[in-house]
A and B are shown apart, each in its own frame.
Chain A
Amino acid sequence: MAQRISLSVNGVSHERETPARRLLVDFLRYDLGLTGTKEGCSVGVCGACTVLVDGEMTASCITLAAAVDGSEITTIEGLAQDGRLHPVQQAFIDYGGFQCGICTPGQVMAAKALLEVNPHPTEAEIRDWMMGNLCRCTGYYKILESVVKAVGAGLDSGSDSGSDSGAGASQ
């Protein structure tokens, strides 16, 4: 059933009539024409569709657009300011953080979300945070390097080995 919803996307308000079952990824891509957000697995696992909803990292492929009515959404199109790329975007270009590119918007959004809550993550924290963003080209080293360079953290991870208490790559 159609509902009237209002979403702020990258600072611009949009009011639309949309079916309740419309997924946020489809709302962004087809209703607003913001095709930077990609759909990969469609089940919330791969991370390609990652956007921020009120600042929280969110899988837009399992989120109803109408259920987040009134929220502020940030997509990959909202990162560049005044023609200048976000530092994470620039680092992905400078350090070759992508191959085919389909996972890249999600990777960049995930990295941006990390830097918002933790501006100086260690390499281990980056790996742990980014574990939910899959790259079908398996270009993980370059993705990791890009985020590390964006942070300016350097690649030495010796100081934080052993701090991983759970779900990270150490298992």
Chain B
Amino acid sequence: MVYGQILINSILLGGIYACIAVGFSLVWGVMNILNILHGTFLMLGGYVTFWMFKLYGVDPFLSLPLSAVSMFCAGYAVQRGLINKIVRAPMFMSLILTFGLQLLIVRLAIYFFTGDFRSVQPSYAGFSIPFMGLSIPFVRISIFVLGVALTSILFWFMGRTRTGRAIRATRMDLDSAQLMGVDIGRIYAITYGIGAAAAATSGSLVSVGFAISPVSDVEFLSKSFIICTIGGLGNITGALAGGLILGLAENFGALYLGPGLQNAIGYVLLILVLFIKPSGLLGRKGFE
């Protein structure tokens, strides 16, 4: 029975993890940017939901679009105004640039929002659904379903729309895509905006089931690192697989090794995967 409950919890957690990592994987895969701002967009998205709920009583699941759209605009602006200027520089310039922005934004967020942990507590927060003797928290299952749904929408967008195809073409070969008439600067900005919007929606979801604070962005960022590395870059199934594996490893690791080492397990997993198969479990080789 304990195992059944842990399994359910792991799967629910894994779904959220996948949702957290998808935007990160997209930005990394398409532009080869290790986006340190990912956790920051996630945190800001969470705060959009939190303040909408706190100030205007808007249901957290209804403020998702607002959170996504606002962070899309922010991400678009950051890429257009700053990151596009150094896209062709050695890759770790963009890493450092986003890190600088992260320091600035997190510091401002602490100033305006205080460092307290906040959580959205709607009236249905405590409900859970009994299922074959196990209990499934209502909020977590909704987050899971929404997370998977949004990830699927992204999957469809990348595969079927004109912009999605342009993004994939840019990823395959920047210069050829440009010759085919793709406006690289715009496509990059859109991609980054989508990454930020994905981060923000998962942040909104996280602010309901868990808690957020300006400094929790690093935690989500390192989770994204781990998930993308385990699953492999640039494909959405990789993010799903990585998220599930991490969710399972963390929950079962906490059971056997004690909850204190829960976070350490992810890093061990990260280093092991890099050692055995650097391109990730589902990644294609030579895709770095």
User: Is chain B a partner of chain A in the same complex?
Assistant: no
Which residues of B approach A to under 8 Å, CB–CB?
none
Which residues of A approach B to under 8 Å, CB–CB?
none
